[in-house]
Amino acid sequence: MRTLAIVLGGVGAGGLAAVLAFASPSPQAQQSQAPADSITAPVISDTGSLKGPRQPIFFRHDIHAGQFKIQCQYCHYSVDVSPEPGIPTMQTCMGCHLVVAGSDSSSRTEIRKLRELWTEMKPVEWIRVHFLPRHAHFPHQRHIKALGPTACATCHGDVSRMPQVFKVNQVDNMGFCITCHVERGVSRDCSVCHY
Position among 20, 50, 87, 98 found at the interface with ligand HEC (CB under 6 A): 87
Does 91 participate in binding ligand HEC (rule CB under 6 A)? no
Task: Give the separation between CA 59 and CA 79, rounded to whole angstroms.
Answer: 20
Contact between 130 and 167 under an 8 Å Cβ cutoff? The reply is yes
State the number of binding residues for ligand HEC (CB under 6 A): 81
Give backbone dihedrals phi and psi of 79, rounded to 5 degrees, phi first: -60, -30
Does 121 participate in binding ligand HEC (rule CB under 6 A)? no
Does 65 participate in binding ligand HEC (rule CB under 6 A)? yes
Q: What percent of the chain is helix, strand and coil (3-state, nearest 5)? A: 50, 0, 50
How big is the CA angle at 15 (ends 126 and 82), to the nearest 5 degrees? 55
Position among 38, 42, 78, 88 found at the interface with ligand HEC (CB under 6 A): 88
Residues in 161-190 that interact with ligand HEC by CB under 6 A? 165, 171-174, 176-178, 180-181, 184, 186-188, 190
Q: Which is nearer to ligand HEC, 2 or 157 (CB)?
A: 157
CB of 25 to ligand HEC, least distance (A): 13
CB of 77 to ligand HEC, least distance (A): 10
Q: Which is nearer to ligand HEC, 2 or 15 (CB)?
A: 15
Does 156 participate in binding ligand HEC (rule CB under 6 A)? yes
Does 117 participate in binding ligand HEC (rule CB under 6 A)? no
How big is the CA angle at 48 (ends 39 and 72), to the nearest 5 degrees? 35
Position among 7, 34, 39, 76 found at the interface with ligand HEC (CB under 6 A): 76
Task: Give the separation between CA 68 and CA 160, rounded to whole angstroms.
Answer: 10
Nearest to 57 by CA among 151, 163, 155: 163
**Which residues, 6 or more positions from 69, have their beta carbon under 8 angstroms from its beta carbon?**
14, 17, 18, 35, 37, 38
Position among 6, 19, 38, 43 found at the interface with ligand HEC (CB under 6 A): 19
Residues 130-149 vs ligand HEC: string with x where CB under 6 A? Answer: xxxx--xxxxx-xxxxxx-x
